[in-house]
Structure 1
Amino acid sequence: MTSRLPRFHFRLLGPRHWPAWIGLGLLWLLAQLPYPLLMRVGAGLGWLIARLPGSRRRIAERNLQLCFPKLDSRQQAALLEQSLRDVGLMLVEFALAWMGTRKAILRVPATIEGLEHLAAASVRGQGVLLTGAHFSHLELAGRLLVEHAGIELAGMYREHGDAAFEWAIRRARARYAATMFTKNEVRGCVRYMKAGGRIWYAPDQDMRGKDTVFVPFFGIDASTLTATHHLARLSGACVIPFFHRRLDGSGYALRLEAPLADFPSREILADTARINAMIERMAREAPSQYLWIHRRFKSRPPGQASLYE
Structure 2
Amino acid sequence: MSASTHRKTRDTRYHQFRHPRWWPTWFYLALMFCLAHLPLRVQWWLGKGIGEIAYRTMAKRRHITSTNIRACFPEKSPAEQRALVRQSYHANGIGIMEIGLAWFRKPERFRPITEVHGLEHYENALKAGNGILLLGGHYSTLDLGGSLISLVIDADVMQRDHNNPLVNAVMTRARERRYGTVLASKDLRGLFRCLKANRPVWYATDQDYGRKAAVFAPFFGIPAASITTTSRIAERTGCAVVPFSHFRRDGAPGYDIYFHPPLANFPSGNDEVDAGRVNAAIEQEIRRHPDQYLWMHRRFKTRPSPDDPDFYRKPDHGHNTEHH
After TM superposition, the score normalised by the length of structure 1 is 0.92
Match of residue 59, structure 2, among 54, 59, 62: 54
Residues 13 and 60 of structure 1: CA distance in aligned 2, closer, same or farther (over 3 Å):
farther
Matches within 5 A, 1:117-156: 117-147=121-151, 149=152, 151-156=153-158
Distance 1:5 1:104 in 2: 28
**TM-align CA RMSD:** 1.9
Q: Which residue of 2 aligns with 1:112?
A: 116
Deviation at 1:2, TM superposition (A): 5.2
- Closer, same or farther: CA 179–47 of 1 in aligned 2, 3 Å: same
- Other-structure match for 1:291: 294
Tell me by how many angstroms 1:11 deviates.
Answer: 4.3
User: Which of the residues 227, 230, 250 maps onto 1:228?
Assistant: 230
Alignment: residue pair count: 306
Which residue of structure 1 lines up, in the alignment, with residue 28 of structure 2? 23
Moved over 4 A (4+): none
Identity among equivalent pairs (%): 38
Closer, same or farther in 2 for the Cα pair 1:16/1:78, shift >3 Å? Answer: same
Q: Secondary structure at the match of 1:136?
A: coil
Q: Secondary structure at the match of 1:175?
A: helix
The equivalent of 1:172 in structure 2 is 174
Matches for 1:241-280 after TM superposition, within 5 Å: 241-248=243-250, 249-280=252-283
Gaps of 5+ in 2: 1-5, 314-324
Q: Which amino acid aligns with 2:189?
A: R
Preserved CA contact (<8 Å) 1:17 1:162: no
Are 1:6 and 2:11 an aligned pair?
yes
Q: Return the alpha-carbon distance in structure 2 between the equivalents of residues 100 and 11 of structure 1.
A: 24
Supply the distance in 1 between the matched residues of 2:225 and 2:19 (Cα, whole angstroms).
38
* Range with greater deviation from structure 2 (166-175 or 123-132): 123-132
Q: 1:150-203: per-residue Cα shift (whole Å, max 9, x none)?
A: x21111111111111111110111111111111211111012112110001211
Q: How far apart are residue 219 of structure 1 and its match?
A: 1.8
Match of 1:305 in 2: 309
Aligned to 2:321: none
Residue among 89, 97, 112 paired with 2:94: 89
Q: Tell me if the contact between 1:4 and 1:180 (Cα under 8 Å) persists in the aligned partners.
A: no
Give the CA deviation at 1:53. 3.9
Instruction: Tell me, yes or no, if the aligned pair for 1:194 and 1:236 is still in contact at 8 Å.
Output: no
The offset of 1:224, in angstroms, is: 1.5
SS at match of 1:200: strand
Partner of residue 101 from structure 1, selected from 85, 106, 110: 106
